[in-house]
């Protein structure tokens, strides 16, 4: 049984309800948590059935939405991210569960909503979100155009859309912008849902003809992301670039392994979840300390020990330490790549080294050092916020345990759900 | 039963560490009540395991069997043999000493519980590392140790220099981890397995080779794999040129230094022993290990002489000792390296913990340490000590050599192991005797007697204890000698080493003699002119740290410029 379309309708209905509860953020948050919890249960129930890949991605999306809902503060700025999370969850579940035109419309809707939010976020003195919106626009146009043209152009256009969702240089801007500029906890949700959707779409492509240049673009992107992150002082952007670097490896791996574009789902999910955790932690700090300038903020571990411990664990997971999903998925990927004599292994390891060093520098810049006097009385994370990060960490541990159970070729192509608009 | 006990050794400290980590905010200064008994139990169980392994042989335990969709390399299995049993006793023993010492030493510290939690977890990780039967699991623990060590080094996280130096250490460890992982991947790609016994069996029957670069010279798979793993090892064991982290980690609490210097830096010696069958197939790697180890031993000892801080001196001394240990591995004396690391571990832990106590005392009592009062009536040239020193370091070895060659007709060139043990015994005892000669405040007869005692002790250690230990760790006939043969240098090169050491010793004693008589050698005057420069170079650690810092700074600057050149709208 494929993922039920009803599951997709539920969050969309929740988003509609959000519009009604706009002025009551607390009630909106409660309703959102309820809706996403039901969606999680529905998608978990579908796990192990036919169309498992869609169910798995849906489960991750729903869990991501649940976690971000839980972490979002029901303040005056709350309704936007809360409602948009529900809307994006509904749209992405629609893209996963549907076939043909409805699925395509849902995917286009996801791209459109994120693109519109980016357009809104742009300012004359910071035009980067507009650049990101333009890249998202390219993905959207390519998706729509792919319906009108024949093969192999259609596949090429769909690959362009995938590259905007699961960031591939030079179309990574959409992802980086979405993760850096969207309000509240939305970046954390987007960091999970966009790559997972990208992976799902990519798995449906029979794009062996691109496998030749994809590794080059993937490795260039991975190095570019690392280079940008080195000098980045904006925490959100730094995490976005590092995510881009790590996800570049997901593009490289299938192309060098067997000349396909069937990226390892476990790895994409693990990286996305780990980075979403960091973005959530960033949000919790931002609501207390304002804009996260990595060059200024320091010493938070002393006034916020619970946050310090949780961020430390998240960094442990993100840099690929054992017991968390990123490690086992990365190892599995590298072993299959090395056993096939894949080229670029050295560069991937270099990227891994750089990313882990940068993440640790990021952590110690934020948490270690003498806290500024005014921050000594800073409030630590609340139980609900801590629960959000614990949920993310638990997910990463589950991903470590279930390593290898997600067959990378079990995308829509394998499950007989290839889109034929 | 035995398997269950072996698993308990790993799990008890892990459980202790995790419980302290979870409930540390409640336990606070009572955290040791969980940590210390956990490690004590692990230590007792390790002793029992050592006893049973020595009598009943090794045991192999599979803790996790991967499903069909995963490579078999993901198997989690333990190999409890003599090597792992010895290492488990060392790890738990040192950890127990450090735990007990820390109970009072860390009292009043904010991160008391965090410290004990990390200590418990790192002990468990080290235990898993020394008993892993799978190269991937070994790597998993290897890099986890890097991370946990970073967290321990950054224990005092509000103190910026301590955090920065912990980060520097992490970078070096990570570099080593990446090289280690490359070796793991290459092993997996070449032999299709990471289970150690299977890997060794396959490596023994097939030695494929591949070009270093397209069209370049060929390198054998065992050499390439072992070299990459060796780079991982030298990062953790502070070998030149990846030694830069070790001397800077003295801002960490003394128990951390003790654990690090007595346990973790010994990783290279353990790794080479664990992978001995692979290293035995790669003579070129062993030669590289010998050169790196030798260089590190010389530089570590030389840099130590320029230090004035007691903990830094101990740090450089560890570096030198680790170089010595790697050199032993490079000569195929694998078990000797383990013997060395055990002895060094116990010795260095004692020194560090004592240094910590001394520093503590000095902070509270301005008159401490005592015993530095000027000593009068010192004989400028203690004739008896000098003659005893020369006799023991030059004449006795010469007599042994001539007797074994000329009278007993022992073919020394065929006794690779014995020659190596003799060589190390000679160098070690000479070093000790030269140090003893500097004891001016003690009567010359006493010094001469201590010199003879030192020589006897060193000879006993190398010729009996180390020999026995070698056949304890490698009981199968011919295995230990095969490693010696694999590492064998051309005879002329070995003779050159022996000759150089002999010349250095002769020059040393001559200089001591002429200095005491107020004479100056013409050649020595020229050397003396160089000594201030050499001192400055060594004091500045040969500018290796500065070189790395410059490279890092330039790379950052280039990236910053490249980023600045990009338009604002481009993400």
State pLDDT tens for residues B147-173. Answer: 999 999 999 998 888 999 999 999 999
Decide: B285 and B279 in contact? Cβ < 8 Å.
yes
pLDDT at A375: 54
Angstroms from B225 CA to nearest CA on chain A: 13
**Do B67 and A301 lie within an 8 Å CB cutoff?**
no
Q: What percent of chain B has a predicted confidence (pLDDT) above 90?
A: 38
pLDDT at B379: 64
User: What pLDDT band is residue B378 in, cutting at 50, 70 and 90?
Assistant: low
- Mean pLDDT lowest among A241-250, A378-387, B97-106, B523-532: B523-532
For residue B160, the chain A residues in CB contact (below 8 A) are 368-370
Q: What are phi and psi of A47, to 5 degrees?
A: -65, 145
Tell whether A360 is within 8 A of chain B (Cβ): yes
A342-346, A364-368, B431-435, range with greatest mean pLDDT: A364-368
CA distance B202 to B210: 17
Q: Which residues of A touch B25 (CB under 8 A)?
A: 305
Contact A131 B569 (CB under 8 A): yes
Contact B563 A228 (CB under 8 A): yes
**Chain B residues with CB-CB distance to A305 below 8 A:** 25
Residue A380 near chain B (CB below 8 Å): no
Burial of residue B364 (CB within 10 Å: 0-12, 13-18, 19+) is exposed
* Interface contacts A/B by beta carbons within 8 Å: 116
Q: Give the pLDDT band (50/70/90) at residue A417.
A: very low
Q: At what angle do helices A325-339 and B160-191 cross, to 10 degrees?
A: 40
Q: Nearest chain A residue to B557 by CA: give it.
A: A231
Record: contact B67-A364, CB cut-off 8 A = no
User: Nearest-CA neighbor of B187 among B168, B170, B201?
Assistant: B201
What stretch of H or E contains A56?
Answer: helix A52-71
A174: nearest CA partner in chain B: B571
Say whether residue A228 is in contact with chain B using an 8 A CB cutoff: yes
pLDDT digit string, tens, across residues B223-270:
999 999 999 999 999 999 999 998 888 778 888 888 888 888 888 899
Question: Does position A410 have pLDDT exceeding 50, yes or no?
Answer: no
Cα torsion angle, B118, B120, B126, B131, sign: negative
Span of B11-15, B126-130, B333-337, B357-361 with lowest mean pLDDT = B357-361
Q: For residue range A86-124, what is the model confidence (pLDDT) as tens digits? A: 999 999 999 988 788 889 999 999 999 999 999 999 888
Q: Residue B559: its chain A contacts at CB < 8 A?
A: 227, 230-231
According to the model, what pLDDT value does residue A132 have? 94
Q: What is the pairing mode between strands B218-220 and B209-211?
A: antiparallel
pLDDT at B373 over 60: no
Contact between chains at B189 and A404 (C-beta distance less than 8 A): no
Out of A126, A231, A346, name the one closest to residue B563 (CB): A231
Residues of B in contact with A331 (CB under 8 A): 74, 136
Contact across the interface for B571 and A407, Cβ inside 8 Å: no
Q: Which of A128, A316, A371 sits opposite B571 (nearest CB)?
A: A128
d(CA A135, CA A133): 5
The span from the CA of B223 to the CA of B216, in Å, is 16
Average pLDDT over residues B378-386: 71
In which band, very low, low, confident or very high, does the pLDDT at A414 lie, cut at 50, 70 and 90? very low
Cis preceding-peptide flag for A271 (omega within 30 of 0): no
The fraction of chain B above a pLDDT of 70, given in percent, is 90
Nearest Cα residue in chain B from A341:
B189
Write out pLDDT tens, residues B454-472. Answer: 878 887 777 777 778 888 8
Q: Average model confidence (pLDDT) for chain A? A: 87
Indicate the range of A29-43, A169-183, A368-382, B188-202 predicted with least confidence: A368-382
Structure tokens at B234: 């030298």
- The answer to whether A350 contacts chain B (CB < 8 Å) is yes
Contact B112, B27 (CB under 8 A): no
Residue A41 touches chain B, beta carbons under 8 Å: no
Residue A99 DSSP label = -
Could you tell me how far CA B313 lies from the centroid of its own chain?
Answer: 16
Q: Is the pLDDT of residue B368 over 70?
A: no
Residue B289 predicted with pLDDT over 60? yes
Is the predicted pLDDT of residue B212 greater than 90, yes or no? no
Report the pLDDT value the prediction gives residue B345, as an integer from 0 to 100: 83
> Which tens digits make up the pLDDT trace of B384-439?
777 787 777 778 777 777 776 666 666 655 666 677 777 777 887 787 787 777 76
Residue of A nearest to B184 (CA): A335
CB-CB contact of A176 with A194 (8 Å): no
Residues 280-319, chain A, touching B (beta carbon < 8 A): 299, 301-302, 305, 312, 316, 319
- Lowest mean pLDDT across A205-209, A353-357, B207-211, B549-553: A205-209
The pLDDT value recorded for residue A352 is 94
Q: Is the pLDDT of residue A173 over 90?
A: yes
Task: For chain B, give the mean pLDDT.
Answer: 85
Which H or E run includes B422? helix B416-437
CA distance A402 to chain B (A): 10
Q: What is the pLDDT of residue B531?
A: 81
pLDDT tens column, A6-21? 788 899 999 999 999 9
Report CB contact under 8 Å: B571, A349: no
Chain B residues within an 8 Å CB radius of A172: 571
Q: By C-alpha distance, which of A201, A100, A207, A103 is closest to A152? A: A207
Chain A closest-CA separation from residue B214 CA (Å): 12
Express each pLDDT in A199-212 by its tens digit: 988 887 776 767 77
- Please list, in sequence order, all residues whose beta carbon lies within 8 angstroms of the beta carbon of residue B288, skipping any fewer than 6 positions away: B227, B230, B330
Whether the CB-CB separation of B535 and B306 falls below 8 Å is answered with yes
Predicted pLDDT of residue A419: 45
- Cα separation, A52 vs B248, in Å, equals 52
Average pLDDT over residues B356-382: 63
Of B69, B160, B559, the CB nearest to A404: B69
Q: Which two tokens stand for residue B563?
A: 């980023």
The answer to whether the CB atoms of A353 and B175 lie below 8 A apart is: yes
Q: How far is CA A98 from CA A95, A408, A416, A421, B183, in A?
A: 6, 20, 12, 11, 45
Look up the ipTM and state it. 0.90
> What does the pLDDT read at residue B419?
74
- pLDDT-based confidence at A50, cuts 50/70/90? low
User: Mean per-residue pLDDT for A216-222?
Assistant: 93
Check pLDDT > 80 for residue A263. no
- What tokens does A293 get? 């300038």
Model confidence pLDDT, tens digit, residues B535-548: 899 988 889 999 99
pLDDT value for B566: 87
Q: Residue A234 pairs with which residues in a beta bridge?
A: A293
Q: Is A375 on the interface with B (CB under 8 A)?
A: no
What average pLDDT does the segment B47-70 reach? 84
Q: What is the token pair recorded at B63?
A: 């803790």
| Cβ pair B144:A322 closer than 8 A | yes
Do residue A131 and residue B167 have CB atoms under 8 angstroms apart? no
> Do the Cβ atoms of A335 and B71 come within 8 Å?
yes
The residue in chain B having the minimum alpha-carbon distance to the alpha carbon of residue A316 is: B147
Residue B374's φ and ψ, nearest 5 degrees, are -65, 140
**How close does chain A come to B324, measured CA to CA in Å?**
30
Cross-chain residue pair A345–B185, CB shorter than 8 Å: yes
| pLDDT computed for residue A203 by the predictor | 83
SS3 per-residue string spanning B446-493: HHHHHHHHHHHHHHHHHHHHHHHHHHHHCCCCCHHHHHHHHCCCCHHH
A390-399 pLDDT tens trace: 999 999 999 8
Q: Across residues B31-56, what is the average pLDDT? A: 93
Q: How far apart are CA B405 and CA B395, in angstroms?
A: 15
pLDDT digits (tens, 9 = 90+) for B500-522: 888 888 888 888 788 777 777 76
The pLDDT of A151-179, averaged and rounded, is 92
Q: Is the separation of the CB atoms in B166 and B150 below 8 Å?
A: yes
Identify the residue among A229, A240, A302, A331 best suited for mutation to test binding to B, counting B beta carbons within 10 A and taking the highest.
A331
CA A86/CA A32 separation, integer angstroms = 7
With contact defined as beta carbons under 8 Å apart, do B4 and B61 qualify?
no
pTM for the model stands at 0.89
Say what percent of chain A tops pLDDT 70: 90
- Are the beta carbons of B176 and B234 closer than 8 angstroms? yes
């Amino acid at each position: 049984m494929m993922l039920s379309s009803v599951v997709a309708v539920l969050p969309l209905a929740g988003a509609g309800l959000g519009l009604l509860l706009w002025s009551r953020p607390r009630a909106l948050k409660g309703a959102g948590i309820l809706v996403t919890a039901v969606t999680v249960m529905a998608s978990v129930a579908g796990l192990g059935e036919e169309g498992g890949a869609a169910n798995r991605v849906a489960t991750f999306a729903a869990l991501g939405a649940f976690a971000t809902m839980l972490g979002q503060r029901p303040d005056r700025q709350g309704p936007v991210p809360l409602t948009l999370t529900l809307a994006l969850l509904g749209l992405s579940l629609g893209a996963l569960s549907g076939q043909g035109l409805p699925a395509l419309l849902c995917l286009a809707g996801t791209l459109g909503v994120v693109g519109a939010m980016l357009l809104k976020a742009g300012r004359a003195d910071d035009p980067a979100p507009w650049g990101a919106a333009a890249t998202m626009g390219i993905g959207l146009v390519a998706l729509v155009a792919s319906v009108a043209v024949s093969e192999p152009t259609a596949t090429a256009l769909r690959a362009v859309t995938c590259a905007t969702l699961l960031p591939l240089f030079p179309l990574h801007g959409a992802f980086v912008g979405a993760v850096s500029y969207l309000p509240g906890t939305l970046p954390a949700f987007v960091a999970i849902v966009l790559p997972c959707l990208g992976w799902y779409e990519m798995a449906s492509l029979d794009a062996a003809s691109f496998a030749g240049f994809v590794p080059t673009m993937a490795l260039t992107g991975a190095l570019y992301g690392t280079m940008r992150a080195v000098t980045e002082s904006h925490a959100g952007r730094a995490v976005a670039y590092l995510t881009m670097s790590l996800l570049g490896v997901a593009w490289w791996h299938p192309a060098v392994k067997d000349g396909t574009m069937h990226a390892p789902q476990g790895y994409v999910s693990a990286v996305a979840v780990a980075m979403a955790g960091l973005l959530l932690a960033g949000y919790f700090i931002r609501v207390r300390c304002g804009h996260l300038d990595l060059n200024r903020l320091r010493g938070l571990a002393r006034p916020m020990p619970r946050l310090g411990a949780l961020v430390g664990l998240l960094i442990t997971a993100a840099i690929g330490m054992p017991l968390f999903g990123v490690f086992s998925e990365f190892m599995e990927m590298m072993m299959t790549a090395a056993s096939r004599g894949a080229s670029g292994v050295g560069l991937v390891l270099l990227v891994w080294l750089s990313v882990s060093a940068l993440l640790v520098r990021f952590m110690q810049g934020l948490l270690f050092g003498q806290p500024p006097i005014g921050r000594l009385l800073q409030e630590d994370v609340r139980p609900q916020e801590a629960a959000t990060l614990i949920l993310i960490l638990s997910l990463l541990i589950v991903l470590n345990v279930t390593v290898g159970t997600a067959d990378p070729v079990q995308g829509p192509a394998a499950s007989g759900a290839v889109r034929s608009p | 039963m035995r398997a269950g006990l072996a698993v308990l050794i790993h799990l008890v400290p892990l459980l202790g560490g995790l419980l302290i980590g979870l409930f540390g905010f409640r336990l606070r200064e009572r955290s040791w009540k969980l940590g210390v008994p956990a490690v004590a139990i692990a230590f007792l169980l390790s002793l029992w395991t050592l006893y049973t392994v020595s009598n009943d042989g090794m045991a192999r335990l599979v803790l996790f069997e991967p499903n069909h969709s995963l490579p078999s390399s993901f198997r989690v299995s333990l190999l409890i043999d003599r090597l792992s049993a010895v290492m488990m006793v060392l790890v738990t023993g040192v950890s127990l000493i450090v735990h007990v010492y820390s109970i009072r030493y860390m009292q009043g510290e904010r991160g008391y519980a965090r410290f004990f939690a990390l200590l418990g977890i790192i002990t468990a990780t080290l235990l898993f590392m020394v008993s892993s039967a799978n190269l991937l699991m070994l790597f998993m623990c290897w890099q986890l140790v890097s991370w946990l060590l970073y967290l321990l080094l950054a224990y005092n996280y509000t103190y910026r220099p301590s955090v920065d130096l912990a980060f520097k250490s992490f970078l070096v460890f990570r570099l080593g981890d990446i090289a280690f992982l490359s070796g793991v991947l290459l092993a997996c790609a070449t032999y299709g397995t990471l289970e150690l016994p299977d890997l060794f069996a396959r490596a023994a029957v097939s030695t494929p080779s591949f070009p270093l670069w397209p069209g370049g010279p060929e390198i054998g798979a065992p050499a390439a794999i072992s070299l990459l793993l060796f780079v991982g090892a030298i990062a953790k064991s502070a070998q030149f040129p990846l030694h830069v982290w070790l001397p800077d980690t003295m801002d960490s609490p003394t128990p951390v230094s003790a654990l690090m210097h007595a346990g973790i830096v010994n990783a290279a010696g353990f790794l080479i022993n664990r992978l001995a069958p692979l290293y035995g197939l790669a003579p070129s790697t062993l030669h590289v290990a010998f050169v790196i180890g030798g260089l590190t031993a010389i530089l570590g000892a030389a840099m130590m002489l320029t230090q004035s801080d007691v903990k830094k001196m101990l740090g450089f001394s560890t570096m030198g000792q680790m170089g010595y240990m790697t050199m032993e591995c490079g000569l195929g004396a694998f078990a000797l390296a383990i013997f060395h690391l055990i002895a060094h571990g116990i010795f260095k832990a004692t020194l560090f913990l004592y240094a910590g106590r001394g520093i503590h005392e000095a902070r509270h009592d301005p008159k401490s340490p005592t015993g530095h009062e000027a000593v009068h009536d010192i004989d400028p040239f203690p004739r008896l000590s000098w003659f005893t020193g020369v006799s023991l370091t030059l004449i006795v070895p010469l007599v042994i050599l001539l007797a074994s060659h000329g009278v007993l007709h022992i073919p020394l060139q065929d006794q690779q192991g014995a020659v190596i043990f003799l060589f190390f015994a000679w160098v070690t005892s000479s070093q000790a005797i030269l140090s003893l000669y500097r004891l001016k405040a003690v009567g010359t007869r006493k010094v001469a007697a201590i010199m003879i005692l030192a020589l006897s002790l060193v000879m006993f250690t190398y010729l009996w204890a180390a020999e026995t230990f070698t056949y304890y760790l490698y009981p199968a006939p011919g295995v230990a000698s095969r490693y010696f043969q694999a590492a064998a240098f051309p005879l002329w090169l070995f003779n050159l080493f022996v000759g150089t050491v002999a010349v250095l010793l002769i020059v040393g004693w001559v200089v001591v003699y002429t200095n005491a008589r107020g004479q100056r050698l013409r050649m020595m005057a020229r050397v003396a002119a160089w000594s201030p420069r050499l001192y400055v170079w060594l004091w500045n650690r040969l500018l290796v740290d500065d070189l790395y810092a410059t490279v890092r700074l330039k790379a950052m600057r280039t990236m910053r410029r490249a980023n600045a050149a990009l338009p604002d709208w481009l993400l």
